[in-house]
Amino acid sequence: MVIGLLDRKLLRDLWRWRAQGLGIVLVLACAVATVVMSFSVQRSLAETRADYYHRHGFADLFATLPPAPLSLADEVRRIPGVVAAAARIVGPGGISLDGFDEPITARLVSLPERDGPAVNVLALQQGRMPAGDRPDEIVIDAGFAKAHGLGPGSRLTMSIGGHKHTLVIAGTALSPEFIFALGPGQIVPDDRRFAIVWQDRRALAAALGLGDRFNDLALRLAPGASAAVAREAVDHLLAANGVVAVVHDRERQPSHAFVESQLEELGAIGVLVPAIFLGVAVFLLHASMLRIVELQRPEIGIVKALGFDDATVGRHYVKLALALAIAASVLGLPAGVGLGLVVTEIYAGFFRFPVLHYGPDLLAVAAVMVVLGAAAMLAALQPAARAAALPPARAILPPTPTSPRAIVGEQMVVRHLGVPAVLVLRQVVRLPLRTLLTTLAVAFAVGLQIATLFSFDALDEMVDVFYGRAQRQDATIAFAAPLPFGTLADIARWPGARQVEGRLDLPARLTLRGAARDVVLAGIPADATLQRLLDTALAPVTLADDGLALSRRLAGILGARIGDRVTVSPATGRPFDLPVAAIVEQYVGLGAYMDLATLGSRLDTGPIVTGAEVKFADEDRTDFLRALQGSSMVAGYMPRTATVEAFRETMARTLTIIVSAFVAFAAVAAFAIVDATVRVALSERLRELAILRALGFGESTILLMLAGELALAVALALPLGAAVGLGLGQVIVWTLDNDLFHVPLVVGWRSYATAAGTVLAAAILSSTLAAGRVRKIDVVAALRAAAA
């Protein structure tokens, strides 16, 4: 009976308060939806990838080695833990396409033998596998085929091993090994300028002059086998056979590492942002519950006078919060599951998984229900305790009016703005907690938006700094093999070439006081102008002749400060020590730089270069590209504009998608927060406003007062919200920071304007809706109730 009646009251109260409650429910629902969406997306992508890897036998270990006899592969297969080993041929190639005047780099990979081990099995998308008797048939990666409109039957002119070949596309395929195909020097995939081409092993061996040898191993291990142990065994076996190989596990496989970093990024932001939403929702619920308890004081009083105990009263308000949480789940769960599917499909398209496994993360659903329930109880705890502790004799009386305090400058306000303005001011000063709660709620509405919107500003800043201020070349060329320094002079003579700067990319391990990191050490001219280094204030830095420049993140990883001596151990060559001369800002990748000439002098090879930064005259671009196409030394060509485009595209299709969903939720939440705040504030003041109406204040004056209070709260909330947004943004930036991308905390004026605009629009809309309620105030009824 107790439960029945009070619960009936609760349900009817909820219905009566549905308009006010809807705002709170919407914010909670946004939190629920973001959690369910994020986790479902992450889980689905992770499961899809795991299934893809499993079905297509994605290798666990990879080895690149000088050409070796096939018999060596048989020995590798006998290593304990190795269940399959594909001995392959991998080599560079070039593609010329009519209508595309830039050089296209290709990685040629031999097709698995028909009866060979199932390692990195292709997922055919179009056409068929090459016929056994057609050495001229190839399979190309579906991304490249799509980018250029190629398909089965299309012909490609390829340069392999210094010779031109005309090949026919038999099919297009996806491979777990190249979910993202990253060309030489590329940090983000560029489907138009890099291709994976699979060809029959014998045909490729003949083209590259390898005969019965192989130069690449892909190994699958038994479930549970240690990759580290197997890698050591492979290393040992190859070394024993006099083969110097680079053996690595999945973590250093470029495609896997890229996908992994993307999923990690999604995971990080997918946990953090929903957590922020939930925090804001809990705050709003808490603030609203405090106000509801205050509004229901007389009811609390009578229930207690009737002999209901404190615990029952407290429980009643906890139940109210739980009911709101349940309503939020009813809205948020399907929204999260549905949006999760949409977002997963977009990602699956980007990640090019051949199949998609989407399923709501039931664990996340259960967890979010538990967390939401716990959060709702947490939010309701203090208000419920307050209701429980309210002495019945006090509760049945109207709240004692607080003594009015004179406000400094009050008379001046009266003179200039009239009595209503003073009432607004007094209201704010008399009830600072209420003003504070309103201001904080609106500040969170602003902050939530800034914390999600800033990602777009950060992306612009990354592009501007990394590809605008730091990199000023027209294109970067990667050589097929290290070349003498003098090659640069040859390139400088190509038609249209205006400026050429060499670079030497050297895989090396940097060590400092026990901390170590494998990086690509870049040798660039000390006075480089095409690829400039920027200090942490983004001012250009000149490289010291004999010192290292480390990117901020790398310096952080190594714990390096200016003057520390870092040991540089090149993959091939003797180690040497160098002091850290500069810490540079770099938003993409880990960077270690030193003077090109100094680096050359430290190597046995003497001054060499592995690539060049070039600037050419626009009008001579075609001639320059023709010279490039004709050169056999070029393995990769990356125009800066294309790289920027690819970078933007990559970001647009990864981080931006989920961030956009968050931005949308933040806007909804902002509207809901402001609306709920306005509605609760109006309910609190309904009687007071009725008295003012009876005293002869017009509707417009009353509306002005309501709007004035809200305007004051919004005015206070905007700068506070900006600070909240920056704080939340900083947390997001810390969470997103990884070796690939360092997102800067930059908030552009557009984000501030959007956040402020949304809140202002919400305030205006809510005030307009409130105006309707003010007009409907039954002055007589309200006064009678006030007098009673």
Contacts with other proteins, residue ranges (CB under 8 A): 1-2, 5-6, 8-9, 12-13, 15-16, 298-299, 301-310, 391-393, 396, 398, 784, 787-788
As measured in angstroms, the least distance from the Cβ of 788 to other proteins is: 4
Beta bridge partners of 511: 516, 567
As measured in angstroms, the least distance from the Cβ of 363 to other proteins is: 38
As measured in angstroms, the least distance from the Cβ of 394 to other proteins is: 8
Shorter beta-carbon distance to other proteins: residue 293 or 504: 293
As measured in angstroms, the least distance from the Cβ of 686 to other proteins is: 13
Shorter beta-carbon distance to other proteins: residue 266 or 388: 388
- The Cα–Cα gap between 78 and 35 comes to 47
- The Cα–Cα gap between 430 and 435 comes to 9
As measured in angstroms, the least distance from the Cβ of 385 to other proteins is: 14
CA angle, 423 then 426 then 427, to 5°:
85
Shorter beta-carbon distance to other proteins: residue 134 or 784: 784
Question: Position of tokens 């957590």?
Answer: 275
As measured in angstroms, the least distance from the Cβ of 706 to other proteins is: 23
As measured in angstroms, the least distance from the Cβ of 17 to other proteins is: 9
As measured in angstroms, the least distance from the Cβ of 691 to other proteins is: 16
Shorter beta-carbon distance to other proteins: residue 15 or 749: 15
Shorter beta-carbon distance to other proteins: residue 299 or 684: 299
Shorter beta-carbon distance to other proteins: residue 183 or 301: 301
Residue type, 169: I
Shorter beta-carbon distance to other proteins: residue 289 or 661: 289
Shorter beta-carbon distance to other proteins: residue 391 or 563: 391
- Under DSSP, the state recorded for 52 is H
As measured in angstroms, the least distance from the Cβ of 29 to other proteins is: 24
Shorter beta-carbon distance to other proteins: residue 17 or 194: 17
Shorter beta-carbon distance to other proteins: residue 43 or 319: 319
Strands lying side by side in the sheet with 213-221: 82-88, 213-221, 61-69, 246-249
Give the dihedral of Cα atoms 29, 32, 34, 38; nearest 10 deg. Answer: -160
CA dist 146 → 123, 174, 469, 776 (Å) = 15, 12, 33, 62
As measured in angstroms, the least distance from the Cβ of 402 to other proteins is: 15
As measured in angstroms, the least distance from the Cβ of 10 to other proteins is: 8
Burial of 326 from C-beta contacts in 10 A (0-12 / 13-18 / 19+): middle
Beta bridge partners of 82: 221
Shorter beta-carbon distance to other proteins: residue 43 or 315: 315
As measured in angstroms, the least distance from the Cβ of 307 to other proteins is: 3
146, 193 Cβ separation under 8 angstroms: no
Alpha helix (H) ranges present in 514-654? 552-558, 596-602, 621-630, 640-653
Burial of 363 from C-beta contacts in 10 A (0-12 / 13-18 / 19+): exposed
For the packed helices 297-305 and 254-295, what is the interaxial angle rounded to 10 degrees? Answer: 70
Alpha helix (H) ranges present in 595-698? 596-602, 621-630, 640-653, 655-694
> How many other C-beta atoms are found inside a 10 Å radius of the C-beta of residue 16?
11
Shorter beta-carbon distance to other proteins: residue 8 or 565: 8
Backbone angles phi and psi of 8, in degrees to 5:
-65, -40
As measured in angstroms, the least distance from the Cβ of 305 to other proteins is: 5
Token pair in block for residue 549: 């420049």
Query: Residue 698: CA atoms inside 13 Å, Cβ hemisphere, count?
Result: 3
The length of the chain is: 788
Summary count for the chain: helices (H), strands (E): 23, 22
- The Cα–Cα gap between 246 and 239 comes to 11
As measured in angstroms, the least distance from the Cβ of 284 to other proteins is: 23
E strand segments, 424-525: 475-484, 497-512, 515-524
Burial of 179 from C-beta contacts in 10 A (0-12 / 13-18 / 19+): buried
As measured in angstroms, the least distance from the Cβ of 672 to other proteins is: 23
Shorter beta-carbon distance to other proteins: residue 240 or 788: 788
Shorter beta-carbon distance to other proteins: residue 396 or 720: 396
Listed in sequence order, the residues at least 6 apart from 575 whose beta carbon sits closer than 8 Å to its beta carbon are 567, 568, 569
Backbone angles phi and psi of 509, in degrees to 5:
-105, 130
- The Cα–Cα gap between 405 and 219 comes to 80
CA gyration radius, the chain: 33
As measured in angstroms, the least distance from the Cβ of 16 to other proteins is: 6
Shorter beta-carbon distance to other proteins: residue 537 or 787: 787
CA dist 52 → 59, 197, 251, 348, 351 (Å) = 12, 20, 17, 12, 11
Shorter beta-carbon distance to other proteins: residue 398 or 540: 398
- The Cα–Cα gap between 168 and 158 comes to 10
Per residue in 296-315, is it b (16+ CB within 10 Å) or e — as a string? Answer: bbebbbebbeeebebeebbb
Shorter beta-carbon distance to other proteins: residue 629 or 683: 683
As measured in angstroms, the least distance from the Cβ of 679 to other proteins is: 17
